[in-house]
A and B are shown apart, each in its own frame.
Chain A
Amino acid sequence: MNALATSLRMAVTAMLRQRLRSMLTSVGISIGVAAVVLVAALGTGARGEIDKQIQSLGSNVIFVFSQPATKSGAKSRANMGMGLTERDAEAIRREATAVTAVTVYSEVSAQVMSELGNGKIGVMGVDESYFEVRGYEVASGRRFNESEAQTKAKVALIAPTAQQKLFGNQDPVGRWVRVGKHPFRVIGTLRSKGQSPFEDQDDRILIPIGTWRSRVVPTLGDRVQLVMASAKSAEHSGEAERQVKQILMQRHQIAEGEEPDFRVGTQQEFQKMQEGIFTVLTVLLLSVAAISLLVGGVGVMNIMLVGVTERTREIGIRMAIGAKPADIQAQFLLESIALTLFGGLAGIALATGLMLAFAKDLGFPMQLSGQAVAVALGTSAAIGLTFGFWPARRAAHLDPIEALRHE
């Protein structure tokens, strides 16, 4: 142990003697280790965030989008991508047994004004089930009731981001907002839902779908952009998806094997898609890590070989006064490990800096875990050991007489 401590001190001294060289040599290792640390941090931060975002969509939700069906290159019939209607939703509600709730919505981004401010905000037409299916909760005030929905009343609920834009810190309940030429009374505010995989779910106001169709976008008839259905449970979501598909195929008179004018997606699919993106990012970073570590390792090997040549005489002296080949080998291995560990520490610092700098832009927390640090340092040491082995072996096998004669 005493010998090891002495050797370690010698290794660090040797490294510090060539500060610039050591720093340049360890840059490759630093970048590689930073990439490793970022991957680990993404692993802890991003996965949790993806789950949270997917959960924020509601639970066991099935989404039905309309999509323009193409036949022989031409878009078919009156179907320009708005093929879903409110009657489709009613049919699903009636017939699909694995589904508990069905809701529809249409959304348009519009300039919304209040007496205090204005902004480009999502105006969503929704029915009463929407709140359940998507898990929106009322923070203050109330939802619109059935009679307001039927009479196409001009009432709105406002989500936090939109509320901030339009009213700042003022309480909006009871005040008025204007969409186009129509004033809406704010009857309630919503709790924050945060970021979904697609958008800021808080930058919007919710109005009854009937009102939306007659006042905001009067040209669409009873067509809707999206139908959402809640499956009874996670186990039922496959069955629910099949039922929804079947009902819509029938209603839209689409034969088996023909391309439908709608697309059904489940929450699980979104999750998979998100995780796919995450996997791509991980693979990318790990490739950067692998290449940097390889190139960095070769750099370390190169500089260690240079060091062995430069210090041939020193090696000869050490051998003459009693260093065994194993002592010399250990000395140079320790030096290369000290070099890569230094690179590793710099890499951890670099990764931490990047995380702090970009945490806001990424919108989710990345944490430097003890595990990541351990993996990073372990990797660095392993690189030092691997790429230092051959130079160290070469030093250990020098002939002391030749080495002493070396100029």
Chain B
Amino acid sequence: MSALIRLRGVCKDYMSGPEVVHALVDVELEIGAGELVAVVGASGSGKSTLMNILGCLDRPTRGRYELAGIDVTERSTDQRALVRNRLIGFVFQGFNLLPRTTALENVELPLVYRGVSTRERFRRAAHALAQVGLADRAHHTPAQLSGGQQQRVAIARALVTNPPLLLADEPTGNLDTRTSHEVLGLLQELSEQHGITVMIVTHETDIAACTRRIITVRDGRIFRDEPNAARPAAAVESRP
């Protein structure tokens, strides 16, 4: 079976004033369907740039990116929006839910841009919320939800389109230990039981330890890429 993600010689250069910054240098990467992967690295290592490219939010300067067998490198803005909508679910550190908007409406949002009927949107959003255990919070706004609940709403929003890839950028960064476990457990479950490829960007090693593969980025290159015997999220040691 072919890889879900395939990067070939991907480079990303930025102009920072007069200087060229090589954010990514010749990245080669293959990730299969259903993998649970952590991307770790210090800030400035290029892991955010990598995630932006994987999330079709940014284009590589050179190289080639194939997602689910589709070359998305040279796609137009509209086509990349379509790819994000169909193939990718995003979970952010800051939750990034629309304020003053109910959980259900937040979860429905990706389907709005897909032109799904109101009734079908409601059905699927309610189902996604139930999957993350928040069926009873459907009509709460983010302000009425705890951090862990907000992040679970965000995960439901990422899931509602049934994407093959879920990109989580520091998903536990704003959460305490206990809720971090819950969220991490949920991501593990999605990968193991639903065959979704989950990529977690983190700078915390104990979070990375819960995944099956750890990719370390340093100076814009893949410094280390090794399998890991995943521990269950509950085993994550308490952080201060």
Binding site for B on A (CB under 8 A): 2-3, 5-6, 17, 313-314, 316-327, 400-401, 404
Q: Once the chains bind, are A323 and B81 in contact (CB under 8 Å)?
A: yes
Q: Which residue of B lies closest to A400 (CB)?
A: B57
Contact of B109 among A2, A313, A321, A400 (CB under 8 A): A321
Mind listing 18 A-B residue pairs with CB under 8 Å? A2-B117, A3-B112, A5-B118, A17-B100, A314-B98, A318-B113, A320-B55, A320-B57, A321-B113, A321-B157, A322-B84, A323-B113, A324-B82, A324-B113, A325-B77, A325-B78, A400-B57, A404-B92
Q: Once the chains bind, are B98 and A317 in contact (CB under 8 Å)?
A: yes
Interface size on B, residues (CB 8 A): 28
Question: B43 on the interface (CB 8 Å rule)?
Answer: no
Q: Which residue of B lies closest to A2 (CB)?
A: B117
State the CA gap A244–B77 with chains docked (Å). Answer: 82
Q: Once the chains bind, are B52 and A401 in contact (CB under 8 Å)?
A: yes
Question: B96 on the interface (CB 8 Å rule)?
Answer: yes
Known: A324-B78, A324-B82. 14 other contacts (CB 8 A): A2-B115, A2-B118, A3-B115, A5-B118, A317-B97, A318-B113, A319-B57, A320-B57, A320-B84, A321-B85, A322-B85, A322-B86, A322-B110, A404-B96
> How distant is B77 from chain A, measured CB to nearest CB, in Å?
6
Collect the chain A residues with CB atoms within 8 Å of residue B96's CB. 313, 316-317, 320, 404
State the CA gap A314–B142 with chains docked (Å). Answer: 14
State the CA gap A133–B86 with chains docked (Å). Answer: 85
Collect the chain A residues with CB atoms within 8 Å of residue B100's CB. 17
State the CA gap A326–B77 with chains docked (Å). Answer: 10
Collect the chain B residues with CB atoms within 8 Å of residue A317's CB. 96-98
Q: Which residue of B lies closest to A3 (CB)?
A: B115
Q: Once the chains bind, are B109 and A318 in contact (CB under 8 Å)?
A: yes
Q: Which residue of A lies closest to B101 (CB)?
A: A13
Q: Which residue of B lies closest to A407 (CB)?
A: B94
State the CA gap A379–B39 with chains docked (Å). Answer: 55
Q: Once the chains bind, are A324 and B81 in contact (CB under 8 Å)?
A: yes
Question: B206 on the interface (CB 8 Å rule)?
Answer: no
Collect the chain A residues with CB atoms within 8 Å of residue B157's CB. 321
Question: B58 on the interface (CB 8 Å rule)?
Answer: yes
> How distant is A334 from chain B, measured CB to nearest CB, in Å?
13
Question: B8 on the interface (CB 8 Å rule)?
Answer: no
Binding site for A on B (CB under 8 A): 52, 55, 57-58, 77-78, 81-82, 84-86, 90, 92, 96-100, 109-110, 112-115, 117-118, 157, 161
State the CA gap A316–B97 with chains docked (Å). Answer: 11
> How distant is A392 from chain B, measured CB to nearest CB, in Å?
16
> How distant is A342 from chain B, measured CB to nearest CB, in Å?
19
> How distant is A315 from chain B, measured CB to nearest CB, in Å?
11
Collect the chain A residues with CB atoms within 8 Å of residue B114's CB. 322
Q: Once the chains bind, are B98 and A6 in contact (CB under 8 Å)?
A: no
Collect the chain B residues with CB atoms within 8 Å of residue A319's CB. 57, 81, 84
Q: Which residue of A lies closest to B90 (CB)?
A: A320
Collect the chain B residues with CB atoms within 8 Å of residue A5's CB. 118
State the CA gap A320–B92 with chains docked (Å). Answer: 11
Contact of A321 among B99, B110, B115, B118 (CB under 8 A): B110
Q: Once the chains bind, are B57 and A401 in contact (CB under 8 Å)?
A: yes
Collect the chain A residues with CB atoms within 8 Å of residue B118's CB. 2, 5-6
State the CA gap A6–B101 with chains docked (Å). Answer: 14
Q: Identify which of A17, A313, A320, A325 gathers the most chain B CB atoms within 10 Å of its CB.
A: A320
> How distant is A166 from chain B, measured CB to nearest CB, in Å?
71
Collect the chain B residues with CB atoms within 8 Å of residue A2's CB. 115, 117-118
> How distant is A197 from chain B, measured CB to nearest CB, in Å?
60
> How distant is B112 from chain A, measured CB to nearest CB, in Å?
5
State the CA gap A323–B85 with chains docked (Å). Answer: 8
State the CA gap A321–B85 with chains docked (Å). Answer: 5
Collect the chain A residues with CB atoms within 8 Å of residue B98's CB. 314, 317
Collect the chain B residues with CB atoms within 8 Å of residue A321's CB. 84-85, 90, 109-110, 113, 157
Q: Once the chains bind, are B113 and A322 in contact (CB under 8 Å)?
A: yes
Collect the chain A residues with CB atoms within 8 Å of residue B99's CB. 314
Contact of B82 among A3, A322, A401, A404 (CB under 8 A): A322
Collect the chain B residues with CB atoms within 8 Å of residue A323's CB. 81, 113
